[in-house]
Amino acid sequence: MKKELIFLGPPACGKGTQTSKLAEHLNFPHVDTGSLLRAAVKNQTPEGVTAESYMSKGQLVPVEVVAAIIKRRLAEPDCANGYVLDGFPRSVEQAGMLEEINKEVDKEDAEFRAVYFDIDTELLIERIVNRKSCPKCGEIYNMKFKAPKDGVHCDKCNSELTQRKDDTEEIARARFETYYKETAPLTEYYENKGVLRKIDANGSIEQVWERLLKAVND
């Protein structure tokens, strides 16, 4: 049966690292709205131009822009058996939109699950301002907690690491505010639907990975 997996949790809770790994493990596409939007901004498409002004303030991009991008992506053939969706939905309104999109795209019954990364939020701003990633392969690093071997280049493909424009302390604080206001209520929304799995997202990448696999398989 098709497996539709979505993930909830505050900025920098480790979702990006874990869900990329999970997508590879399950052989499903990793659909990440933040990356899709950053690509649209880089290419200055009409959607990207609109998105940029919201992203630079740590606010949610208008729902119709994100929903259009996600609808196109989830209709692609590589999503037919399942997908790992990271960063969408981010509000109750978007959750309703995802249900509509799935109805349109799904040809058969699908198993839907929302995994919530439960984490102490104290250290997350520090995680964000020290975060860098590889522009080529997407590998995520942290200059304090998981630095690349030479301090500058990706261990996997040797490209020079870059920092996201919105990974500053000021924008990170705004992103947290947006998260608590718009996205946090989704945990209750999915709990009420009986599809929520909570995992403890504190600890090492390996520890969280084990818990994630359990949550996805049980």
Contacts of 178 (CB under 8 A, 6+ apart): 58, 59, 60
Binding residue count for ligand AMP, defined by CB under 6 A: 17
Options 87-95, 149-157, 189-197, 206-214: segment touching ligand AMP (CB under 6 A) = 87-95
Considering the complex, what minimum distance in angstroms separates the CB of residue 198 from ligand AMP? Answer: 20
Strands 140-142 and 131-133, sheet pairing: antiparallel
Residue number with the smallest Cβ distance to ligand AMP: 34
CB closer to ligand AMP, 11 vs 48? 11
197 classed as catalytic: no
Pick the binder of ligand AMP from 14, 29, 34, 48 (CB under 6 A): 34
Q: Roughly what angle, to the nearest 10 degrees, separates helices 63-74 and 92-105?
A: 30
The catalytic position among 164, 173, 197, 198 is 164
Q: Roughly what angle, to the nearest 10 degrees, separates helices 63-74 and 46-55?
A: 130
Pick the binder of ligand AMP from 2, 30, 73, 90 (CB under 6 A): 90
Tokens of 40: 């649209």
175 classed as catalytic: yes
164 classed as catalytic: yes
Options 31-39, 101-109, 129-137, 203-211: segment touching ligand AMP (CB under 6 A) = 31-39
Find out whether 18 and 10 touch, Cβ atoms under 8 Å: no
Site for ligand AMP in 102-141 (CB under 6 A): none
Q: Does the protein bind ligand AMP through residue 189 (CB under 6 A)?
A: no
Among 199, 217, 198, which residue's Cα sits nearest to residue 208?
199
The catalytic position among 38, 73, 175, 211 is 175
| Helix, strand, coil share of the chain (percent; to 5) | 50, 20, 35
